[in-house]
Amino acid sequence: MKQRALGRNGPLVGAVGLGCMSFAGAYGPADRRESLAVLKRALDLGVTHLDTAIIYGNGLSEEIIGEFIRDHPGRFTIATKAGIRTQPTRHFDNKPGYLREALEGSLKRLGVDHVELFYLHRRDQEVPIEDAMETLVRFKEEGKIGGIGLSEIAPSTLERACAVHPVMAVQNEYSLWTRQPELGLIQACERLGVAFVPFSPVGRGIFSDAPVDPSTFGETDFRKANPRFMEPNFSANARFVDRFRAFAQERGWSVPALAIAWTLHRGDHLIPIPGTRTVRHLEQDAAAADIVLTAEDMAAIERILPAGFAHGPRYSEAQAVGPESYC
């Protein structure tokens, strides 16, 4: 697979990474053996960047990765995240004591003494970003992390953070139906030498070869309470996606591969991390790195899915707490 740099002077990783949230059942029941098979196939395909977090199954995703890398040391560039507490209630915490506790727990579950990238999963607005950065810089100086990441932030926060220390990567949701990062964040990352890591580049499964049926979502499926998958929004969104699906199929591409390829063509510093718990979907996702889109292709996609086409916000009010707004 083609490779891209994870930030200025950062390690080279496969152009398409792997988000590991679904290993912990965020989109329905997950099978541990199948998740391990996905990691094995990822190595075969050159998918070398794994993204996980403490809150993915309360450490389960990290444990599964740790189990796999015991027998495959040094093969993946691993990112994990901290900054969201779930007990006794969900809230954000960027204080030094908690971040250190969280990092040590992640390293133990992963079975390593160093992780290549460590993100603030969400900003704690009670802690100045400069103070949070100083904590992360100490972790780097101690050799516990290779680089600093930030998630769901505004460009202004990135500017302030980089004034303290270089940031390796910023992770925000970005896809054909979630395009706010185009209004400044992608540009700020390029200017500052920061990798931009889009999560959910296939729109939480909306960009799939087979039409999605929300009536099949389980009770634990994140999308069950998501406005874009609820009526009347879902039917309107499905009509747009049907046209995109036809466009992909006419050209012999899978729908998820084309959706991911579109993100890759938005800039050389973008490294999308589609999530999956099946080998078949991983193979579709990885194929995106081989798709070459012409200017005419990009223009056609823009006509089919114009910016802002999505009906409904990307999060419900309950889900929307944490991401920074800037437009």
316 or 5: which leads in pLDDT? 5
Q: Which two tokens stand for residue 93?
A: 């915490």
* 98 noted as active-site residue: no
Is 3-207+255-291 CATH 3.20.20.100?
yes
Contact partners, residue 96, CB within 8 Å, separation at least 6:
135, 138
The phi and psi torsions of 129 (rounded to 5 degrees) equal -60, -30
DSSP 32-93: HHHHHHHHHHHHHHT--EEE--TTTTTTHHHHHHHHHHTSSTTS-EEEEEE-EE-SSS-EE-
In contact, 64 and 42? CB cutoff 8 Å: no
What would you measure as the largest C-alpha separation in the chain, in angstroms? 54
The answer, yes or no, to whether residue 26 has pLDDT greater than 70, is: no
Q: Could you report the per-residue pLDDT of 174-221, keeping only the tens digit for each?
A: 999 999 999 999 999 999 999 999 999 999 999 999 999 999 998 888
The answer, yes or no, to whether residue 25 has pLDDT greater than 90, is: no
Residue 41 has a pLDDT of: 98
At 129, the pLDDT band (50, 70, 90 cuts) reads: very high
The per-type count for the chain, helices as H runs and strands as E runs, is 10, 11
Q: Which two tokens stand for residue 265?
A: 């063509």
CA distance 303 to 305: 6
**Domain-wise residue ranges, the chain:** 3-207+255-291
Percent of the chain with pLDDT over 90: 90
Q: Considering 27, 56, 119, 315, which one is annotated as catalytic? A: 56
Contact partners, residue 141, CB within 8 Å, separation at least 6:
none
> Distance between alpha carbon 299 and the CA centroid of its chain, in Å?
25
Long-range contacts of 236-243 (CB under 8 A, 24+ apart): 236/311, 237/177, 237/206, 237/309, 237/310, 237/311, 237/312, 238/211, 238/212, 240/304, 240/305, 240/309, 240/310, 241/206, 241/207, 241/211, 241/305, 242/211, 243/304, 243/305
Angle, CA of 26, 199 and 311, to the nearest 5°: 85
Percent of the chain with pLDDT over 70: 99
In contact, 254 and 288? CB cutoff 8 Å: no
The mean pLDDT of the chain is 95
Residue 319 has a pLDDT of: 85
- Give me the mean pLDDT over the 74-97 stretch: 93
CA distance 23 to 58: 11
Other CB atoms within 10 A of residue 173 CB: 20
In contact, 79 and 50? CB cutoff 8 Å: yes
CA distance 12 to 14: 7
Q: Could you report the per-residue pLDDT of 221-237, keeping only the tens digit for each?
A: 889 999 999 999 999 99
Which residues, in sequence order, are bridge partners of residue 173? 199
Residue 90 has a pLDDT of: 83
Q: Which two tokens stand for residue 183?
A: 């209004």
Residue 88 has a pLDDT of: 83
Residue 321 has a pLDDT of: 84
CA distance 239 to 304: 10
pTM reported for the whole predicted model = 0.95
Cα separations in angstroms, 76 against 11, 32, 97, 143: 11, 19, 28, 18
